[in-house]
Structure 1
């Protein structure tokens, strides 16, 4: 019987730059590596590899399992992926983000009293993307059948021991869940009792979801019996979800509860395979999805930081922190105003935004002596030889960004604040901010990383439909809440105003890096607007400071709120940037703390500030795989 290596606690390793204890060991594998947000889901990936699947098959199995486990997402959410194809030696981008449904216009939401689309319920839903994205990836790049890949998820839907994190999240959200009849029937397994959610370890059964997955597999198997190809058979399952009886029940359940999604919306939507964006940082090619995600903000940050000698500053010195903080502020200011669905915005200035010359000009704005609180969007159009068509809107945007905010009551999206419970700290303000931040990191998204000896590498950041989710009829499928990432006012972001058929700009951002034309790193993280902040520093920890992949997943980072929040809130003031706010690790030396305060920063402190990064390092020197998984949350990996 094949042995598997598991991530466990407390291990000491050394790097060329520093000897640093890690709470989890690095994971080593020769044949394959599977890392994701839940131990059982990582096991699903391992099972799929042992069936003979490749990294795409394993990633799809882990994706299906995490959705079934409600790992702060569900089957009605969205999936974004980068795949390295060893045959073509190219990185492929998968865009399976849903779109705004028919009738979703600024006027519709404003007439209902909203200043942003709602956070919860049927009106928060874009069309489901994960089933389509999984089918597309599997059909085009996997080896196994849908039946084989979904087998672990289907077994779990029939009943699995639910873990405390999800069970307690259901209990906290039970009053909202009671407003949705199909969600209530699934989640509240002990109605009328003091605790109505499942207990940790209770066998959690999802009969409707199992029926939905069974129908998809039936469609595939029938197509195979009719002598269809493997790919055609998988896409028959896709069609049953988006055009058949599953679609009809989804739409019926959505509209019954007040949602807008129509059968035509589902039938017209499709996942897209597209070219990723990339920049070179000191000879390493870093890949991200296009500007319907926030991913290019990391690429912009790397372009800016290439103008500085970061290594000489020292890891997390005050000078380094100040440089990285201001760099992220500049990149996210551009994200806040210029990013959106390129299909609706052919004039989106992505070439200017990723120009090295533009980055040099932005780098000149970084003040080495203090933070610049009013760093706003730049003019990337000038680096495309064009005139900026949004000069007037930019002035309005900057005025909105100056909205007065009580910095002692830092805004946090409501869906993130539910788990602020019993955080021990001597300083009450620090405790509030730290626990709120940790909850934001743990909720709303997961990540999936897979690699194999054939050379396939996969990085996925799926999300949407997190608890409390509104389930669409008897499908067992929780609807997305991604509509809230749209805006209703062009002054906030002219490229991200809601419209039917349009994708919202999302925070979801898988990452991949190539060195000498070969895969070097595959990495992703959850955490809303902090994702590309954490991934940027994770990458720099390895490239600039010589950390191993496990050291970098656990290393102390900084986080900034000097940006517009992408989730939650009902007013512009709820999402407006908080200049100078910075989250530091509690072990930050007093000398660094004092210097940063003198430089205009307003710090709070947390025990862990790295973000729950999952990653794979491809060791070309030894022909092996290194897995890394952060030291908090329930993220886990298995390698062989």
Structure 2
């Protein structure tokens, strides 16, 4: 009886959501759509569209604007992108992730007492990738000059009214920022006063960054005057950043503050164009970046979920939530052991991991009456006709790193709230690590260009490299120092860490269907998976899908934060529910199945997405109702 009532409630909720008005209005456009993490940054994309640019031009302008506004990233961070090219009708991937610098070895970090590379400061920095990624995308697939595309962000660097979210982040992190002289000079204009960060609405000026951006444009314009092609001119700016005077100042400032990055590290780095990974889910081709990101985790999840009738379960019913949790935990277990930079080994079993037969075997592990706390990485090698070369290491891993099943509430801090009378939030520090943010950029135009970018790195508190105004990345922390955790993601000079950053593009009948991205560390593909299913399985509009209540699993190894192994180990059975999902019947059933529940009214980072309405020849844009993300369409 109880199960029937819960299912009925879930079905009613699904029907209600499909009909309800959203908190944010959906975006509509016929010619173009630009969605990103800040309203001013979306305006930058709109300006480029109105000046005749395509979706690549506009996405580069939005990327530049978000970096300039410190929208949980900076110019010294990294950029990951998927682009649908309407001329070739192919999706291509841009890998603009920086690499570990010279001297970044396991021995080096262990000699300093680390169990993971540090979270903050110069030693957390990979080589910067965003400048190179932007230059490459613009030169190869854009139509405008660097000068035109950078014009909006240069106006922002000259001074813009800073929003409360960023200003308050600076104030909160000011003690860390004061450790680094160049960060302190830029970020804390009111030193010695009670509030040392800018106030909301104050004009925030970044003279050093403006000078760096000006040098990039000067390099391009000088090359054009020398009769170089558009592409050559843009790459002249690239060279000035990675090999010229900007590089010298960046390295000087990095090393002065204790960092490892060398001039040779910058000169050797370049973005890489790759073939994305993809699977077909019920006639829809879903594309993600390769396994140096967590993106294939979403593809593995869809392969597993294809074995179940999700729609009949009912949106956010007990069975649906349980199936999602188990599926994501299975996929994360594989991510945590098998994913890493493919350039450093040819042994990664991606064909096996993404095979439908492997997914069927993993799906058999789901027990529908209880949580399975001992989910470990599977063995995909036989599905490639191979023998697992890491069988011994896997057995050792299972002995050393059993999940915490004895005290699953150890990371939960009760916070009484009379509205719900239960545990309301998980430990703030743990959740910050789990959901550590960035931004996303989504753009599309009437010519058919589609872009999805999830850039990151150099977030506040960032260590700025000398007088460049450029905050350095903190992505080194996503490496491991112990091969028993992940043999493919052990730090080494020149290697890319396995990152959480994961843009998405889906095609249907060979045409763009959806592009979508989200911020939020290890929760990114959890949230994107549910957004996709909300549209495909439950018929929601894209705005409804972005706003819909979702769940998060903590039964995974954290990719960010925490200096000790115990800080990052999976929390078996820990399940985050949105407060809108909570009801007594659902809670009782989930607790009976062994789940330890927590609740939050923000169970997702802001999701940004574009849906293609081929029936009417229009674009739908969506953006979550938590955060400052939004867009503009025309």
- Give the TM-score range, shorter chain: over 0.9
Match of 2:331 in 1: 331
Task: Provide Cα deviations, 1:266-317, integer angstroms capped at 9, x if missing partner.
Answer: 0001000000000000010000000000000000000000000001111010
Tell whether 2:64 aligns with 1:64: yes
Tell whether 2:546 aligns with 1:553: yes
Task: Provide Cα deviations, 1:462-483, integer angstroms capped at 9, x if missing partner.
Answer: 0000000000000000000000
Post-superposition offset of 1:427: 7.4
Q: Residues of 1 paired with 2:471 and 2:222: CA distance? A: 27
Distance 1:626 1:434, change over 3 A: farther
Post-superposition offset of 1:500: 0.2
Match of 1:370 in 2: 370
Tell whether 2:628 aligns with 1:634: yes
Q: Residues of 1 paired with 2:478 and 2:72: CA distance? A: 17
- Aligned partners of 1:442 and 1:612 also within 8 Å: no
Tell whether 2:519 aligns with 1:531: no
Tell whether 2:123 aligns with 1:123: yes
3-state SS in 2 of match to 1:280: strand
Tell whether 2:617 aligns with 1:615: no
Task: Provide Cα deviations, 1:79-137, integer angstroms capped at 9, x if missing partner.
Answer: 00000000000001000000000000000000000000000000000000000000000
Alignment length (residue pairs): 619
Match of 1:393 in 2: 393
Task: Provide Cα deviations, 1:523-543, integer angstroms capped at 9, x if missing partner.
Answer: 000000000000001000000
Q: Which moved more, 1:402-411 or 1:477-486?
A: 402-411
- Aligned partners of 1:403 and 1:573 also within 8 Å: no
Q: Residues of 2 paired with 1:501 and 1:27: CA distance? A: 42
* Structure 2: unaligned runs, 5 residues or longer: 1-13
Q: Residues of 1 paired with 2:314 and 2:420: CA distance? A: 29
Q: For 1:340-489, what aligned pairs fall within 5 Å after superposition?
A: 340-402=340-402, 404=404, 406-410=407-411, 430-433=423-426, 443-489=436-482
Post-superposition offset of 1:433: 1.6
Post-superposition offset of 1:17: 7.9
Q: For 1:140-151, what aligned pairs fall within 5 Å after superposition?
A: 140-151=140-151
Poorly superposed stretches of 4+, deviation over 4 Å: 14-17, 403-406, 422-429, 434-443
Q: Residues of 1 paired with 2:556 and 2:361: CA distance? A: 20
Distance 1:437 1:626, change over 3 A: farther
Tell whether 2:494 aligns with 1:493: no
- Aligned partners of 1:15 and 1:547 also within 8 Å: no
Q: Residues of 2 paired with 1:343 and 1:15: CA distance? A: 47
Match of 1:417 in 2: none
1:594 to 588, 591, 598: 588
Tell whether 2:268 aligns with 1:268: yes
Post-superposition offset of 1:369: 1.0
Q: For 1:31-430, what aligned pairs fall within 5 Å after superposition?
A: 31-402=31-402, 404=404, 406-410=407-411, 430=423
- Aligned partners of 2:434 and 2:560 also within 8 Å: no
Post-superposition offset of 1:398: 1.8
Post-superposition offset of 1:610: 3.7
Post-superposition offset of 1:429: 7.7
Post-superposition offset of 1:392: 1.5
Post-superposition offset of 1:408: 3.2
Tell whether 2:495 aligns with 1:508: no
Question: What's the Cα RMSD here?
Answer: 1.9
Q: Residues of 1 paired with 2:407 and 2:594: CA distance? A: 16
- Aligned partners of 1:176 and 1:468 also within 8 Å: yes
Post-superposition offset of 1:436: 6.0
Q: Residues of 2 paired with 1:571 and 1:182: CA distance? A: 29
Q: Residues of 1 paired with 2:313 and 2:230: CA distance? A: 54
Distance 1:340 1:635, change over 3 A: same
Q: Residues of 2 paired with 1:556 and 1:518: CA distance? A: 29
